[in-house]
Amino acid sequence: MARYVGKAFTLIELLVVISIIAILMALLTPALSAAKAQARSVVCKNNLRELALANLLYANENSGHFVAAASDIDTSNGGLHRWHGVRENANEPFDPTKGPLATYLGDGDIEQCPTMVRFVKGQSWNINFEQGCGGYGYNATFIGSRLWQKHTSSSYRNTTKIMEVSNTASTLMFADCAMANKHGANTYIQEYSFIQQPFHLSGAVAQPSWGYASPSIHFRHRSRANLAWVDGHVDSQVMAKFDGKNVYGVKSSDFNIGWLTPLDNSLYDLN
């Protein structure tokens, strides 16, 4: 009986097939990477939308006042209460399930931004003083306090009312945030739960002559930052050009941390 012998691949044919597969992989990998990044950004936007809605619900049940950003930050305990959680001592992460917005969130928790950011983990208060906020920051000066009016202890506990915001669609509430910091020779990124406007205030007046503050908006989604506005809508924007160093002596733009355009307080204040 005759036996059929199948035709075998030659070495050249195998090399051609492998080369074609390699080329296809090279072509598809960037597209897959972009798709994954886009999916993470969509999840992040949903997280921010949920935070904005929670704060609007909070205001609705608290005579129009938004949640306080840091009600005890001016006290001697180092700050145990934030908009996103509570902690027993300053060296622990904040517990988001005990925060003032917990009852207004779907699962009672601050969701983590899904983009993998190498935030410093653990450590003492002076290295990692805002751990537990999920990578998101709040417009503390203009929405989560009354520091825009005057700088007193009561300004941290009394917050802005929604009716005081002139243009809710162009006033920031929440954003992707982080802070570039330095401890000894080590430079790192830490979680940071506040949006810092470009210019410090004296009373209710911005002071450009004092120089820029330390930026905290983190453009982590393929060089874009996701933002939630007071009216509840969410979008993303690119970083303004800014090469200055922050209060820790770190060039924030090296870590994709900066500000929006324009480089003034107009997107943060109530006007």
Short-list 75, 77, 56, CA closest to 67: 56
pLDDT at 14: 75
- Give the confidence band of 17 by pLDDT, cuts at 50, 70, 90: confident
**Furthest CA-CA distance within the chain:** 102
pLDDT of 6 above 60: no
pLDDT at 45: 96
Give the span between the Cα atoms of 109 and 51, in whole angstroms: 10
Q: What are the residue ranges spanned by the domains of the chain?
A: 11-258
Q: Which residue has the higher pLDDT, 37 or 212?
A: 212
Whether the CA torsion 230, 94, 194, 90 is positive or negative: it is: positive
pLDDT in tens, 178-225: 999 998 888 999 999 999 999 999 988 999 999 999 999 999 999 999
Q: Which residue has the higher pLDDT, 7 or 249?
A: 249
pLDDT in tens, 126-184: 888 888 888 999 999 999 999 999 888 889 999 999 999 999 999 999 999 999 999 88
**Cβ neighbours of residue 31 closer than 8 Å, sequence gap 6 or more:** none
Residue 188: is it exposed, middle or buried by C-beta count within 10 angstroms (0-12/13-18/19+)? middle
pLDDT at 86: 94
Q: Which residue has the higher pLDDT, 40 or 233?
A: 233
pTM for this prediction: 0.87
Tell me the three state secondary structure of residue 145.
coil
Q: Which residue has the higher pLDDT, 123 or 182?
A: 182
Q: Roughly how many angstroms between the first and final C-alpha of the chain, as a whole number? A: 94
pLDDT in tens, 192-203: 999 999 999 998
pLDDT of 1 above 60: no
Q: Which residue has the higher pLDDT, 271 or 199?
A: 199
pLDDT in tens, 75-115: 777 689 999 999 999 888 999 999 999 999 977 778 889 98
Residue 228: is it exposed, middle or buried by C-beta count within 10 angstroms (0-12/13-18/19+)? buried
